[in-house]
Structure formats: structure tokens, C-alpha cells
A and B are shown apart, each in its own frame.
Chain A
Amino acid sequence: MGPALLVMLAAAVAPTMGGGAERTLIVFFISLTAVVGIGLYSGNSGILSFGHLSFMGIAAYISGILTMPVQMKKLTLPNLPDALASMHLDFVAAAVVAVVLAMAVALVVGMVISRLEGAAATIATLALLIIVHGVIIGARDITRGSQSFFGVPRETDIWVAAIGCALALAVARLFRDSVPGLRLRAAREDPIAAGANGIRIRRERLLAWVLSAGLVALAGVMLGHFLGAFSPKKFYFVDTFALLAMLIVGGMTTVTGAILGAISITAVTEILRRLEGGIEVAGVQLPEVFGTTQIGIGLIILIVMFKRAEGLSGFDEWDERLFGRRAAASAPDTEDDFVPPARQGETLAADGATKRFAGLTAVDGVSLTLAPGEIVGLIGPNGSGKTTLLNMLSGVLPASAGTVRIGGRDLTGLPVHKFAGLGIARTFQNIRLFRVLTVRQNVLVAALNAWPRTSIGEAYRRTARVMEWMGIADAAGVKASTLSYGDQRRVEIARALALQPTYLFLDEPAAGMNREETDALMETLRRLRDTLGLGILIVDHDLPLIIRLCDRVAVLNEGHLIAEGDPAEVQRDPAVIAAYLGRKHQADLAL
């Protein structure tokens, strides 16, 4: 909350520096409010938005109509509907109404935009900007069309701007570390892993979108009541790019970044615009050169993008840099080392599971079961469909035909995040961690999605516990991407365990580990099966590991299940030997 305090302090100091400085600061606060607002969505979701200024415009017009004196409205907006013409609210009430209405619009729009990914979502926000601009111009009776909308009382003084800005900073910062904020950031880092860990990405995006629209709307209310006169072009491309420039220069993913960006662009603008007016420096009169401000801003963007593509602040907030990530919510309480057993029960069963990719049948009519308390190995040559089968069983890919059931319940066609809730957790062949999140956050975000839901405190405790199990507790505060390959695999398993699954799918968990690490992993997996009663389905090329660890082995070849049973039997199965192992590898199997 440091920045919020600084904002208030600056507001207290500003009036002593003259009205020009005060106005500069007001504009800065309003811009910063808008920038952190956009950042709340774009930063946490990773989807750049061009559309947020539409909420700024909507709120500026709505609040302006509500605060404008009735007499003025009669004069300037003669065709205003009677209900609006006679309505007059004070500034705060009008601000609340405008922000709420803008958020309502955002909710409707967000339902569409949150379904889109990456560039498609960005383009949709661009469309939103253009559509709202058109609607504001078209609603002439209410907005005066393209003409100046004037007569709005100038209520935004330095304190209003400072309070609004401090509020926005606080909301954005709290959101970032909140449960939805953490989930959304995880989804930004890896949407597939996020879904598999129970995160409903669309819902999280929608929440952030609506919240951020609210903050940007607040900036719109303040701007409207600062200028007193505006028109639709104030909420269009030019200002969109000016604010996005601040966000991108500072670093989109943090509130610190928004602040740094707004400060650096404002500071450079302020300095350059004084120079371009033809200032006298050390007795030398510099010529008047207008336009250097824009060139200066362009250069900053270029330099920052070249030197630090993630923006000035990088991925960390200032306090995270200064004090480190927030300390653990206490180490696991040994007194309370209660480990809830996995939900007892039913067998996970794939029946005739088939996956076709445009002509290629990757998995063809495979039936396989996994009961709690057993470890099943899934082997087969490269391209035999092992990972595809795992993807179907975990809901990451929908099956083209066949069913996946738990007991009597058909999971076919359910969204991926539901699979996590039903007790299915997994790791990925090509490690899908939430890279810029810490190890603890990686695990915690999954722990928060365990079903049935538990308290946040319990999620923290479970996080600590599974990190302990996997031997990564020491690395809890470290960014996941900085870990060694083997440690990253362990974090992925810990994350899967945090979901409190009944079934655990491991896709090449021992890849990148040496023999001792592999042995330790095997030990851990056995213990998990014994203590938690987990059903584990494991894909690996390390055949000795599979054969020693597994209760049962299933062999895939070219999408077909060619053998299944006791490891020793499968090892001797002629079909397996012929199709997969080849005679010359028989020696390996004798281990």
C-alpha cells in the first residue's frame, strides 16, 4: 500500500508547487488510475486490451449527465429523456452509478470476450472500442454526438484524483494477490495446466474484466469532471495508445509497473515539453521545436522494449523485490498432520476411447481402468498415443468417440476444470508450470481448487504439506522457472497432489532425473499410493522404473491397446516384444 500513501503525500505537497504542477499531478493520477485499471485485466490475464477506454467514456458521459445542473441540461441537451433531464445527483453518487453501470456493460461484453483467446480477444476489445465510440456519437440526444459535451461541473480537484488513484492502486494490488488474481495469473502463464488444475479460466477472466472496467470507469468519471468538456474522441485511439504506452513501458504484469510507466512517461513528457517551447539553458536560447515530446515517448518505448521486453518493473512488485515474496503461512503444523485419504471409491474407466486428428487416429478404441490404490504403467513407442490418451482421461482433449467414466458418472464432454474437481490430477510431459509464479504459488493455486472446497488456511497448510512430501519446501519462494528440470517435475507433482486427487496421471515424471532421484521418486509414489490410496497412471520411457513400480502395465501401439496385465507377463508378451520392444531389447527387460 506504499504507493497509495505516496499518492496522498504527493497530493498534499502539490498545491504548494503552483496550479500547473497541481494540474499535471491531477492528470497523472487520472492516467494512473486508468493504467492500473487496464493492468488489472491485461496484466493478470495476459490479454492486451484496447477496449478499456470505452468504459472510461461510458462512465464520463453517464456521470456528466447526472451531475450537470438541470438548467444547463435544458440548454445543452434539449432532447434528453425527461427522467434524465430532471435528475441531478451529487458527484459521489453519480460516480458510483456511473461505475456500476459501466461494470454492468463490461459484464455483458465480457461474457463474449472471455471466451476468446489471445489475439482474438485483443481484436475483440478493439472492436468494442470502435463500437462504443460509434454508439456515443450516435446517441446524440444524450451525448451531443461528436460535439463537445460541456457543462459538467469541475469536481475533480487534487484530493478527488488522489483518493480515486489510491483506491485504484489498492484494489489492483489486492486483486493481484487474491485467490482469483492468483488463478488468473496462473491461467496467463499456462492455460492448459490451469484448466487441468481446476481453474475456470473464463470465469476468472470475466471477474478481472469487470473489476478493471470499474477502475477505468472511475478514471473516466474523474477525467470528465476535471475537464468539464469532452467529446467521444477523448476516449478513442490516441488516448488508448497513450495509456497503453505507460502500461507497456512500466510492465504490464504488476501494479508497480503501471506506476513506473505512468511516472516515466509523464516525467519525460513534462521535461521535453518544456524544452520544446524554446527554453533558455545556460544563457543559450534553444529553438522552438514542437513534436519532440512524441518522439521522446516513442524512443522510450523502443528502448524499454529492446532492453526489457517485460517492462521496467519486470514480473515482480516493488515490495516483492524489496522484502521477498510473502513468507509461508507457517510451516506445516506437525500436530495437525492429518492427511485426508483419497475419496474412496470408484474406478476410473475409459471405454473405447478414440481420438482422431484430421485423418490421423491417434488413439483407437482403447479401454483402460484405473482403481484407487493401484499404480498402472502406460508404455508404448513414441507416437503410440500415450499422451493423447492421458489428455482424454484428464479432459484436456475431448474424446472423438468412446467414454470416460468414474463409477457410474460419465465425464465425456465435461470442461477440463471439472475433471480436477472430480479427483483427476496430472502432470505434463513437457512441464507446464506457471513459470513466473513462485513454487508455493504454483502449488497453492491448485490447492485452492481442491474439491470439496476448503478454507484458504487449509489450502496453505496443504500446500506446505505437499511441498514437504516432494522435497521442494526449501524452494517455496523461488520462481518456478528458475528451478532445475528435476525440481520442476517435482513441483508439478506437488501441484497435482495439492488438488487432493483420487487419480494421478504422471506423464514422464522421471525424465531429466538421475538414478538416485528416480529411486526417490519411486519411493514417494509408492508411499502416496499406500497412505493416500491414490490410483496412479504413469507414462514413462524408463522401463525398469515402470516394471518395478507398477501393479499393472498397459501397452499402446499405433493407438491400439495391444497388451495389458502384470508387468512380468506383459514383458513376455510376444505381441509387445514384436511391436514395441524388439528382440534386441529383450535383454533390457531382464533387469
Chain B
Amino acid sequence: MRKRLTYMALGALMGVTASAVTATAADTITIGVATAQTGALAPFDGPVIEGFKIAVDEINAKGGIDGKIKIKTIDKDVRSDPAQTSIATQELVEAKVNVLVLPCDADPAFAAAAIADKAKIPGFSTCASSPTLPLMGGDYMFANFPGDNVQATVSAKWAHDQGHRSAYILYSPDTQYTTLPLYFADVFEKLGGKMLGKSTYKLEQQDFSAEVTKIKALNPQPDVVMTSAYEPDFPAFIKQLRAAGVTSQVIGSDGIDSATTFSLGKATEGVVFTTAGHATPGSALEAFNKLYKEKTGKASETVFNAIGYDLVKVIEAAVLATGGNVDPVALRDAIAGLEGVKGATSMITYKGTSGMPVRQVSLVRVKGGERELVGQPSPDAALIPAPRMQ
């Protein structure tokens, strides 16, 4: 009896929240935000939603999308847990949201994707970079970050353009992200480069002497050493590599776009890595960073803030494309056809993809402890390798 009473109480409580939500008029688009504001994913979802809110406020202050469609959000914390994500998503579906925003990590995003797909409501993962997610998550699942394969395409193309012809990769099969160098190898070979070998590592391995010895023993030395290792692996690796006297160009990915990389002095000097954006003077990212400082009183410390801003811009563009129709199915089709949306970090295109946006990727070089923009090339779609499952 006690149990049934509990559920009746819960049911009543849910009824209250549900009725509060259904009061949405046609001049409103409701975005259900089921993200991880606490737990292991909070360092990613937190900043994204911060930027997301800034964009929502900015648009609503101007009267809404196209000056008339206000954005309303329903926020739920999924506590970095897939089961909670599935519950929260179901509740948002019942609250009749038009668009869903889902966590950065693939587990909860997958758990929610099935529900979004069934309800025919488009959903975005805040910052998942694995191209597998939108591919396997169904037609209604989209990502909001440069795909691993896209980043690798940009860095491989750049390396080849610099005249580098041989490469060595260090990757870890432990996570999807750390297998990014395999995409690099694909593209590099496609461009006519030669792979001299590859090493694997375990996350948080710290000691890279075996891998470094292998690279040091290569004759001739590779022009490029590419890895998507990040802290604490990348700093350990690069220090040991340079200490061994290997002078090859080292290329990394957005995982090392952190203050640490710029504070390692000689070890990281000259390292080039891909990242989601770069605040060149007059750029959209610079403008966003200014806006962020204005709104929050502090400087934006991560590109994930701007990524959240981008997400709202994409939704805005989709609503504009449908001519103000906020029907979820119409929105999905509109998103899938978006081309050249101006976000804070870059131009964003969904057209012709399986849900993983094509975005400009910035190439940044570490120079004297500062970031130097190498280029912001748009990746060549023909070069981008197909998503890899394993």
C-alpha cells in the first residue's frame, strides 16, 4: 500500500509539471534539455548549456526567432546516467517538446535516441564527436561537434600540404575518441602519404617509453607523429618523445586544446592540433567571447561555451527554414538540409551528412606558449572517411 501511495503521489506531481508545459502556444518553440549538469559528464554538458542559454536569451531579447517565435526550454539534469536520460527524455517527449538536447556521451545519447526516434523529435547530442552516434542513433539523432573523422581529415590534409610524406600514429582503442588517428592514417594514405607504423596505449598509461623507443628506432624518422591522446597521456607522451630526441612534427586533436598544452614550454612548442574554433580578430567566436564576458562577467575558458551557442543557432536556422513551422518532423527535415549556418565557432552544414555536421576545423600551432592560427580549412567531403565502428 505504501508503495502504491508513493506512486500515486509521484503521478500527481508529474501531472502538475506536465500541465505547466502544455501551455505552449504556436508562437513558441520548446526545447527539451536533458543534459548532465552533475556527474562525470558535467564538465562537458555544463559549459555547453551555459553558451546555449546565452544564445536563447539573446534571441528571446529580440522577440524570438524571426522576431516572433520565442524559445522556451525545459531543463532536466540526467546526472550522467543513461537510465535517467531515458526517463527524462520520455518526460520531455510527453511534454511535447519540439527539439531535444541530449548529453555529450554516447551511452546516454543512445539511450535517448531510441525514444526521440520513436517520438519523431529531432535530438542533438551537446558535444559528442563520434560519427557513429548519429549514424546508429537513427534519422532523428544529430551531433553538434566536428566529427573525429572530420578533424582527422583536416589535419591529414594539412600535413600532406606541408610536404610531409610519412607518418606514425599513437592511438588507444579504449575509447572511440582516442581511435581518431586511425582516420588520420586512412586519409593520409589516400593522399599518397606513407604510414611508418602505429602504437597503441592504455588510457592514463603515463609511461610511454616503449612507444617512444619504437618511434626513435625508425629510420628514416617519420615526418609526422599523430595522436589524439589528451591529458594526462599527451603531456607525458610529448615530454618523453622530445626528451628522446624525436623532432617530427606532432599533430594532436581538440582534446589537447587546454591550458596545460600551452604551459609545457619546449616540449609542446610547434605542436599543431585541430580544434572547433579560433577567436581571430573580427571572428564570430571573438564576438561570442565578448558576449559571454558581458553576460557572465568572466572570460570563456572553453570552446564548449561557443558550441552551445552554435546549437541554438542551428535550431534557429531550422525554424527559419521551415518558415516558422515548429513541428518536430518538419524541423528534422529542415535540420538535415541546413547548409552554411553561421555559428560562433564556424560555418555548420548538415546537408549531405548522416547527422554529423560538417564544420570548419581550426588548426592551431603552439608558439611560445601562445596559440597561433594555422588555418581554418573547410574539409573536403570526398576525403572524409566513413565512420568506423570499432
Contacts and interface: CB of A to CB of B under 8 A. Distances in A.
B284 to A, nearest CB: 28
Interface string A46-73: 0000000000000000000000000000
Nearest to A262: B3
B110 A150 contact: yes
Contacts of B173: 140, 145
B14 interface: yes
Interface stretch (A247-255, A285-293, A538-546, A582-590): A285-293
B37 A291 contact: yes
Contacts of B330: none
Contacts of A359: none
Given A227-B83, A229-B82, A230-B107, A277 B76 contact: yes
B17 A274 contact: yes
Contacts, number: 145
A166 interface: no
A267 interface: yes
A79 B389 CA distance: 11
B92 to A, nearest CB: 9
Contacts of B370: none
Contacts of B111: 227-229
Given A75-B389, A291-B38, A18 B94 contact: yes
Interface string B366-390: 0000000000000000000000011
Nearest to B83: A27
B4 A6 contact: yes
A273 B77 contact: yes
A17 B38 contact: no
A405 interface: no
Interface in A137-166: 137, 140, 144-148, 150-151, 154
Contact of A76 (B16, B79, B174, B389): B389
B22 to A, nearest CB: 12
A14 interface: yes
Interface in A488-509: none
B89 to A, nearest CB: 9
Contacts of B7: 10, 13-14, 17, 21, 25
Interface in B1-15: 1-4, 6-7, 9-11, 13-14
Contacts of A103: none
Contact of A229 (B4, B81, B107): B107
Contact of A146 (B74, B132, B174): B174
Contacts of B175: 145-147
Contacts of A280: 20
Nearest to B18: A18
A294 interface: yes
A77 B174 CA distance: 15
Contacts of A14: 7
B39 to A, nearest CB: 7
Contacts of B6: 263, 267
A24 B110 contact: no
Contact of A290 (B2, B38, B81, B83): B38
A234 interface: yes
Contacts of A259: 3
A147 B86 contact: no
The residue among A27, A259, A278 with the most chain B CB atoms within 10 A of its own CB is: A27
B17 A150 contact: no
Contacts of B40: 233, 238
B174 A17 contact: no
A145 B174 contact: yes
B389 A24 contact: no
Interface string B111-134: 100100000000000000000100
Interface string A11-42: 00110011111111101001000000000000
B11 A148 contact: no
B390 A226 contact: no
A20 B90 contact: yes
B187 interface: no
A270 interface: yes
B183 to A, nearest CB: 15
A416 B106 CA distance: 54
B83 A223 contact: yes
B100 interface: no
A271 interface: yes
B174 to A, nearest CB: 5
A78 interface: yes
Given A23-B90, A227-B86, A230-B82, A263 B390 contact: no
Contact of B174 (A137, A238, A263): A137
Contacts of A19: 90-91, 93-94
B322 interface: no
A273 B11 contact: no
B136 interface: yes
A279 interface: yes
A231 interface: yes
A575 interface: no
A303 interface: no
Contacts of B13: 270-271, 274
B114 A228 contact: yes
A9 interface: yes
Contacts of B389: 75-78
Contacts of A76: 136, 389-390
A140 B83 contact: no
Contacts of A231: 106-107
B14 A17 contact: yes
Nearest to A270: B10
A290 B37 contact: yes
A13 to B, nearest CB: 7
Contact of B114 (A6, A137, A154, A277): A154
Nearest to A20: B91
B206 interface: no
A270 B90 CA distance: 14
B28 interface: no
Contact of B83 (A17, A226, A291): A226
Interface in B199-255: 203
B75 interface: yes
B245 to A, nearest CB: 33
Interface in A63-111: 75-79
Nearest to B77: A290
Nearest to B12: A17
B87 interface: yes
A144 B79 contact: no
Contact of B110 (A25, A78, A228): A228
Contacts of B86: 23, 27, 226-227
B353 interface: no
B176 interface: yes
Contacts of A27: 83-84, 86-87
Contacts of A75: 389
Given A147-B106, A274-B14, 10 more contacts: A9-B4, A148-B110, A150-B136, A154-B114, A227-B83, A227-B110, A231-B106, A267-B10, A271-B10, A277-B77
9 contacts: A76-B136, A148-B110, A150-B136, A229-B106, A231-B106, A234-B82, A263-B3, A263-B6, A288-B75
Question: Which 5 residue pairs spanning A and B have beta carbons closest together?
Answer: A229-B110, A20-B91, A290-B37, A148-B106, A17-B11
